[in-house]
Structure 1
Amino acid sequence: MPPTVPAATRASLAWRDLDAAPAEPVQDSVASRLIAVRGGGPRLLTFLGGSLTIDVQVTTRAGMVEVVGELAPALSARVVVESPDGTHETAADPQGRFKITGVTPGPVRLRCEPQDEGGFAPVRTEWVQL
């Protein structure tokens, strides 16, 4: 077994968040034939987890990824983009809007945590390749 395999396994287990509800991808513009025919443009993704919907627009600029999103229902929340290169964190405003820039392309997932008690259960998306 290559020596990097055990280290990668340990690192993957550190990313687990057992208290967060999983958010499944329900829409991805990359899978749409219409987008493929038209060519480039931002990637649109929608995740559904528990009572929370996360809509994001992903744009690549100068080799880095920008994630602009909106939570529904609209609530203030802590939003974190996790990747093997680290995390990027911001706060969604009371309308549920957020923006994170400077993300390295590759596998990422989003984690959303309510700022107010009773808002929603913490949610994390599946890993997606950006």
Structure 2
Amino acid sequence: MKDEWHDEELLSAYRRIAADVDGTPDDVLVAARAAFLTRDLDAAIAVLVADSRNETAYETVRAEPDPAQGHWLLSFEGGGIQVDLEVREEQGRLRLLGLLSGTSSGDCFLEQAGERHRVDVDPLGRFVVVGVAHGPIRLRCRSSDGTRVTTTWVTI
């Protein structure tokens, strides 16, 4: 044990004890990661323009998806792009089947809870993402003219 403590050494010891006894809650760390991912404030925003969970969102073209059955459609538009997503429940996780219009190939990411995952988009703009957890998500991509575009957050 030290006979004499300097202020910085004492504060450092208190920090170590506090971290061991009362660490940062997991939900605070998740929120901090999510906030860090929002740092690209210059990106154009693609807003949610249709959600089949709202009764008037889509005109009936085919059998309507039933949100109660874990299946619905979302559409985003803005920044020169359009994103259409079919969301389907599969064994407690979600499967996203999407179509991007007006985007350049590659450079597309799905963000959720402070995590970023590359989305493989084919030359026609189609993609599939499986094993997505329930919660807020958004997509980041580039329009065909190179503009960074981010969809608004939507909870799935």
**Short-chain TM bin:** 0.7 to 0.9
Q: Which runs of 5+ in 1 are unaligned?
A: none
Query: What is the distance in 1 between the residues matched to 2:66 and 2:101?
Result: 30
1:25 is aligned with what amino acid? L
Match of 1:86 in 2: 115
Aligned residue for 2:123, secondary structure, equals coil
Identify which of 8, 11, 14 aligns with 2:36: 14
| Over 6 Å off, 4+ runs | none
TM-score normalised by L of structure 2: 0.66
1:32 shift after superposition: 1.7
**C-alpha distance in 1 between matches for 2:124 and 2:48:** 22
Cα distance in 1 between the residues matched to 2:105 and 2:121: 5
More strand by share: 1
Q: Distance in 1 between matches of 2:35 and 2:114?
A: 15
Number of corresponding residues: 125
User: Is the partner of 2:69 in helix, strand or coil?
Assistant: coil
Partner of 1:29: 52
1:105 partner SS: coil
The TM-score, its normalising length taken from structure 1, stands at: 0.78
- 2:103–2:142 contact (8 Å) kept in structure 1: no
Structure 2 residue runs of 5 or longer lacking an equivalent are 1-23
Are the equivalent residues in 2 in contact too, given 1:52–1:120 (CA < 8 A)?
no
Computing the radius of gyration from Cα coordinates, the structure with the larger value is 2
The answer as to whether partners of 1:88 and 1:103 remain within 8 angstroms in 2 is no
* CA displacement 1:75-118 (0-9 Å, x = unmatched): 4233211111623222211111111111111111111135xxx5
Q: Distance in 1 between matches of 2:146 and 2:33?
A: 28
CA contact (8 A) 2:93 2:134 kept: yes
Identity %: 32
| Corresponding residue to 2:132 among 87, 97, 103 | 103
Distance in 2 between residues matched to 1:44 and 1:36, nearest whole Å: 7
